[in-house]
Structure 1
Amino acid sequence: MNGKHILLCVSGGIAVYKAAALTSKLKQAGAEVKVVMTESAQQFVTPITFQALSGQPVYTDTFDEKDPMKIAHIDIADWADLVIVAPATANMIAKMANGIGDDMVSTVLLAGTAPRWIAPAMNVHMHAHPAVQNNMNTLKSFGYRFIEPGEGYLACGYTGKGRLEEPEVIVALVADYFSEHQHKPLAGKKVIVTAGPTREAVDPVRFFTNRSTGKMGYAVAEAARDLGADVELISGPVTIEPPSGISITHVESAEEMFQAVMSSYDKSDIVVKTAAVADYRPKRVHDHKMKKQDGELSMELERTTDILKTLGEQKKHQFLIGFAAETDNVKTYAKRKLESKNADMIVANNVKQAGAGFGGDTNIITIFYRDGSHKEFDMMSKKEAAVHLLTEAIEQMGDGQ
């Protein structure tokens, strides 16, 4: 942690006293700490306390420009290697989720690109309130990481979840983050992962879809994050809890997924297409619910855009990984897909094989490479499979591919 720049944003709650201890412990661990406080936070602990503990000026007013050559809220946001909001009140979480910048803390949080960690602290019922939970899920979708509050006796007299995590634990998490980040093979890489199914509308009630649950894609996204990558997860409709530290874009149709992928493709280093995207969609989408009629029903379908093929055609520096979920002739179809889509790797499985189908927590994969070789893996968890396929990709990229 030596020399790392940590910006501590303190919002108002009784747990502010823990933020003072956190400032001291971060500095003792070698970090440079700058503190930004809300007006409410100053009602619990004065700025001079944080100034003494950090050895740095404390920022409290958006319009108090300490250096006329710099705009303070931009300057300190750019200065930070990591931003920690502790304690994060329900009010501050709501501001962050909705892009409100009406004081120094909320304005700073809108500026800069450093990772943001949120450490909530509030009454147990406030923490469980649907609005607060919805705001936290929104922040998770932005890629913000949460340091979950502990359970126990709260200052309000209740017992439950809502206590700010102990400063010692937060410091350990920060130390692990910087230690691991420096040695992670995907640090500095932008990884796009597509996951889940798509839905193709028939009418306002019905749609075509498939059996994908998104588990494999979400496992890949989390593994890429843990390997140090900046991850964008583009997800079809799933019921999986959004992972922290990952930017998520939710889509419905194949066309929406195509547009989302293409909008970020130029800036990506690795693209992992695990999503089960519809190959066809109804040529006509009815404005009203189709009524049941006697006899058979015929429906004309049209092809959707082949996302993997388009990515392969427009590939420049990107490393492109496709998935092939097959029911027979797995090797033949996987090799054909590798060539026709101009992919760098194809991860194939037989979804009829026990332990390798949709919805389960395990997979049995075979990875096919550009040189014509392939590697088979025994049944393992989807999280393990995700790590294996990314490790293989890192090795291939290291060979100049």
Structure 2
Amino acid sequence: MLTGKRILLIIGGGIAAYKCLDLIRRLRGRGVAVTPVMTRAAEEFVTPLSVSALAGEEVHRDLFDLTKEAQMGHIQLSRVADLVVVAPATADLMGKMAGGLANDLASTLLMATDTPVLCAPAMNVRMWQHPATQRNLAVLQGDGLRFVGPDDGDMACGEYGPGRMAEVPQIIAAIDAALGQGPLTGRRVIVTSGPTQEPIDPVRYISNHSSGAQGTAIARALAASGAEVVFVTGPANVPPPEGVQVVRVTTAQDMLEAVQGALPADAAVFAAAVADWRVAQVAGSKMKKTAGEMPTLRFAENPDILASVAQMGAGRPALVVGFAAETDDVVANAQAKRARKGCDWIIANDVSVGTGTFGGADNTVHVVTDQVVEDWPRMGKDAVAARLAQRMAAALNG
């Protein structure tokens, strides 16, 4: 779908620059012309010769090239592409873009272009979390720049956390979406995420350990693939992704109503950890502790959001995906749940103590359909999300 497009690829100075070699190779394989630009720092990590050989074009490096600048070459470079991709988008490049600096070829091109820009940040976790970087991110997003990643993971510096550049398939999906040609362009998808909180009284509630990280990653991956995403989230520990419609809820009943209000949709992914029960009668004021006495709580069953959508008949999404968070007999319980709920797929994972799934960066999932069980290797939640988005696109477009 990208055949005939031209991308201006600005390679920043970070260890993740090596991924750009694979990115160029894959883009060229899809018929994309890649015009490479390298910062001086980028040359410390990959060679211009390698980049040029894969791109099949000269690498542009110098702002003050007298021959090219006689024809205002940097202006031409900034205007001929369909999309500008900055990968890795280092803290330095993000700072220059946000501050309007233009003291080398890369930053000058970014200032001179009216072409859409997609950034794939990569830096040390503390650099990514620094207030200055987060301010720059907010400014650039406000200016209309798109972002893919960064992901959580191990870093070359030995630290762990957000800051790894998105993997090449994720970047390509984001390029597809930025050019309006993602595999899920034109599709509407509902994603539920996070826990629900069921009140006991005005200060206490029943909930679970779900952080919302996996559901957030799925919504981000689907949006990067071009989908219109309605993200229905309980009180999660992670911020919602950019570029999606966010609907915040608290209880299971709130979530059901939000999902019903978001229909119709082409697909729905129910990644939220919805509480199965609620307190039948919520106290109007704080329940006081009385020595020697224990309160009696009577429970009522919460609505089954997954089953209600999977079994709705007319207007049902073409693809309904549920999640099964299990601690024992993971696959067997997921198979039974899929049959009982009536959904198309169940994504099963082991959340028992010691797995680190709840609140962690990695996940091990099993995709259960009516025909097969796919055992995926342990990987980061962003990688799980990207792979699921690709599988959903294949199913919806097949």
Instruction: Decide: shared fold, TM above 0.5.
Output: yes
Deviation of 1:28 after TM superposition, in Å, equals 5.5
Aligned residue-pair number: 262
Deviation of 1:180 after TM superposition, in Å, equals 5.1
The one-letter code matched in structure 2 to 1:282 is V
The equivalent of 2:364 in structure 1 is 364
The equivalent of 2:377 in structure 1 is 378
- Whole-Å Cα distance in 2 between the matches of residues 377 and 179 of structure 1? 26
* Residue range with higher mean Cα deviation, 383-392 or 187-196: 383-392
Correspondent of 1:210 among 200, 208, 213: 208
Measured on the aligned residues, the alpha-carbon RMSD in Å equals: 3.9
- Whole-Å Cα distance in 2 between the matches of residues 210 and 336 of structure 1? 22
> 1:219-368 alignment to 2 at 5 Å?
219-266=217-264, 268-293=265-290, 294-314=292-312, 316-352=316-352, 354-355=354-355, 357-368=357-368
- Whole-Å Cα distance in 2 between the matches of residues 284 and 24 of structure 1? 68
The equivalent of 1:92 in structure 2 is none
The one-letter code matched in structure 1 to 2:268 is V
Q: Quick one: structure 1 residues 145 and 308, their matched pair in 2 at CA, closer, same or farther if it must change by over 3 Å?
A: farther
SS of 1:202's equivalent in the other structure is: strand
- Whole-Å Cα distance in 2 between the matches of residues 359 and 292 of structure 1? 31
The one-letter code matched in structure 2 to 1:320 is V
- Whole-Å Cα distance in 1 between the matches of residues 75 and 255 of structure 2? 43
Deviation of 1:185 after TM superposition, in Å, equals 1.1
> 1:1-400 alignment to 2 at 5 Å?
29=81, 177=175, 181-266=179-264, 268-293=265-290, 294-314=292-312, 316-352=316-352, 354-355=354-355, 357-371=357-371, 373-399=372-398
Q: Quick one: structure 1 residues 256 and 25, their matched pair in 2 at CA, closer, same or farther if it must change by over 3 Å?
A: farther
CA offset digits 1:217-259 (Å, max 9, x no partner): 0010111111111111111112312321111111111111111
Q: State, as a whole percentage, how many aligned pairs show the same letter.
A: 31
- Whole-Å Cα distance in 1 between the matches of residues 369 and 176 of structure 2? 33
- Whole-Å Cα distance in 2 between the matches of residues 325 and 178 of structure 1? 32
Listed as ranges, the gaps of 5+ residues in structure 1 are 4-21, 32-85, 88-114, 118-127, 148-172
- Whole-Å Cα distance in 2 between the matches of residues 369 and 389 of structure 1? 13
CA offset digits 1:148-190 (Å, max 9, x no partner): xxxxxxxxxxxxxxxxxxxxxxxxx9xx856754442111111
- Whole-Å Cα distance in 2 between the matches of residues 235 and 269 of structure 1? 19
The equivalent of 1:109 in structure 2 is none
The one-letter code matched in structure 2 to 1:220 is I
Q: Quick one: structure 1 residues 177 and 26, their matched pair in 2 at CA, closer, same or farther if it must change by over 3 Å?
A: farther
- Whole-Å Cα distance in 2 between the matches of residues 369 and 253 of structure 1? 29
- Whole-Å Cα distance in 1 between the matches of residues 81 and 396 of structure 2? 36
- Whole-Å Cα distance in 2 between the matches of residues 178 and 332 of structure 1? 37
- Whole-Å Cα distance in 2 between the matches of residues 393 and 146 of structure 1? 23
* Residue range with higher mean Cα deviation, 194-203 or 240-249: 240-249
- Whole-Å Cα distance in 2 between the matches of residues 145 and 211 of structure 1? 34
- Whole-Å Cα distance in 1 between the matches of residues 184 and 146 of structure 2? 22
Q: Quick one: structure 1 residues 206 and 184, their matched pair in 2 at CA, closer, same or farther if it must change by over 3 Å?
A: same
Listed as ranges, the gaps of 5+ residues in structure 2 are 6-73, 84-96, 99-115, 119-130, 148-170
8 Å contact from structure 1 (residues 344, 370) kept in 2: yes
- Whole-Å Cα distance in 1 between the matches of residues 284 and 145 of structure 2? 41
Q: Quick one: structure 1 residues 28 and 329, their matched pair in 2 at CA, closer, same or farther if it must change by over 3 Å?
A: closer
Q: Quick one: structure 1 residues 195 and 317, their matched pair in 2 at CA, closer, same or farther if it must change by over 3 Å?
A: closer
8 Å contact from structure 1 (residues 356, 379) kept in 2: no
CA offset digits 1:303-349 (Å, max 9, x no partner): 11100010011153431000000111212211111111111100001
The one-letter code matched in structure 2 to 1:327 is T
Q: Quick one: structure 1 residues 322 and 273, their matched pair in 2 at CA, closer, same or farther if it must change by over 3 Å?
A: same
- Whole-Å Cα distance in 2 between the matches of residues 201 and 30 of structure 1? 51
8 Å contact from structure 1 (residues 254, 304) kept in 2: yes
8 Å contact from structure 1 (residues 234, 250) kept in 2: yes
- Whole-Å Cα distance in 1 between the matches of residues 327 and 81 of structure 2? 55
The one-letter code matched in structure 1 to 2:329 is N
- Whole-Å Cα distance in 1 between the matches of residues 300 and 397 of structure 2? 40
SS of 2:201's equivalent in the other structure is: coil
Q: TM-score, normalised by structure 2?
A: 0.57
The one-letter code matched in structure 2 to 1:207 is Y
The one-letter code matched in structure 2 to 1:193 is V
The one-letter code matched in structure 2 to 1:329 is D
- Whole-Å Cα distance in 2 between the matches of residues 194 and 359 of structure 1? 17
- Whole-Å Cα distance in 2 between the matches of residues 340 and 352 of structure 1? 23
The equivalent of 2:60 in structure 1 is none
CA offset digits 1:245-282 (Å, max 9, x no partner): 1111111111111110110121x111110000011101
Q: Quick one: structure 1 residues 297 and 367, their matched pair in 2 at CA, closer, same or farther if it must change by over 3 Å?
A: same
- Whole-Å Cα distance in 1 between the matches of residues 218 and 266 of structure 2? 15
8 Å contact from structure 2 (residues 270, 322) kept in 1: yes
- Whole-Å Cα distance in 1 between the matches of residues 186 and 391 of structure 2? 18
